[in-house]
Amino acid sequence: MKLWGGLTKGENTGLSWGISVLLAAVIMIVCIAEVPVMGIARPQEEYSVVLLGDSIIGNIFEGEGIPAYLEEQLGKKVLGGGFGGTSATNEERIQQPYSVKDQLNLVKLSEAIVNQDFAAQKAQIAYGEHYRYFINETLEYFPDTIRNLSDADFDKVEYLVIEHGTNDYNRGTRLDNPEDPYDETTFGGALRTSLELLQNAYPDVKIILMTPTWCCIRWEGITQNCDNTDFGGGYLEDYANLEIEIAKECGVYLLDNYHDSGICQETQDQYLVDGLHLNLNGEVLLASRLADKIREIENSRNEEQ
């Protein structure tokens, strides 16, 4: 070809090309080094348990947070990967370029975990952090959390815990799409899509779905209980029941906080700060329940072996 012919005129062309190939190879390696999929800059941090979810996992009001208590109880390294205000669903139609939470829903995070590519999330969080005072979509811990997630080696993770539902409920997200069980704009579709992605990429990881806890939304003096308020998609119990179904469908473990945790209207002051988020007792309670579940799974697996 002309290109090669033109460039190969002159003396010492072979040597020149040889050095160029070496130099180009070095530059290519440097250029691609930060891409984890190339195996050069692989994630280094090893966690036994990773928690994904919303503010129930991410926000800390009184105690030290569920991840810290769980780590204490299990003696295993735990990563808290919750982002306050996020949901499971991927509402493509309402995505705005300045919206941080559109990149932090369960579907997008699952894709990021599978591809080991959190670049979109990092860029959006950087944007949200710069305008945090005005846009108010990020919380202080978002940059650290996304960095920890991107540094985590998911090949070494034993348990992946997913806790979503509350924000899908209070946004009135559609529960399911009978015509398309993998419709990411529905709660059920988002869960199925995420579970399928994660199970295919990490077949050895034990996934635990955690149903949301009972809550009430307090806004401008009005209190709306989750068991008698429908924001458009159903009651919170409907979302919890769908999660139970999907856990059976997809063959993942389930921890039913909605029905079994003991957090309800009568006990809300004992476990909740504002009717929605967990106080110290609530964090310890959920961490204990999760630790018990993990031990149960390990015991049953030991018995099987």
Residues that bind another protein (CB under 8 A): 2-3, 6-7, 10, 12, 16-17, 19-21, 23-24, 27-28, 30-32, 34-35, 37-38, 92, 95-99, 102-103, 108, 111, 114-115, 117, 119-127, 130-131, 133-136, 143, 146-147
For residue 169, give the nearest of 275, 88, 257 by alpha carbon.
88
Distance separating alpha carbons of residues 256 and 243, to the nearest angstrom: 9
* Shorter beta-carbon distance to another protein: residue 49 or 107: 107
User: With contact defined as beta carbons under 8 Å apart, do 183 and 189 qualify?
Assistant: yes
The helix (H) or strand (E) run that includes residue 210 is strand 206-210
Helix, strand or coil for residue 120?
Answer: helix
Residue 213 CA to residue 55 CA, distance in Å, equals 12
Tokens of 238: 């409907």
CB of 86 to another protein, least distance (A): 15
- Rounded to a whole number of angstroms, the minimum distance from the CB of residue 155 to another protein is 15
Q: How far is the CB of 106 from another protein (least distance, A)?
A: 15
Cα 163–chain centre separation: 8
Lookup: tokens for 43: 């994630």
In the complex with another protein, the residue whose CB is nearer, 55 or 103, is 103
Q: How far is the CB of 208 from another protein (least distance, A)?
A: 25
Q: Residue 206 Cβ, how far from another protein at the closest point, in Å?
A: 24
Q: CB nearer to another protein: give 111 or 243.
A: 111
Closer to another protein at the Cβ: 29 or 292? 29
Task: Please say which residue, 27 or 270, places its beta carbon nearer to another protein.
Answer: 27
What lies within 8 Å, CB to CB, of 182 at 6+ separation is 189, 192, 193, 196
Shorter beta-carbon distance to another protein: residue 119 or 270: 119
Q: How far is the CB of 305 from another protein (least distance, A)?
A: 34
188: which 2 tokens? 């059920």
Measured at the CA of 61, the angle between CA 56 and CA 64, to 5 degrees, comes to 85
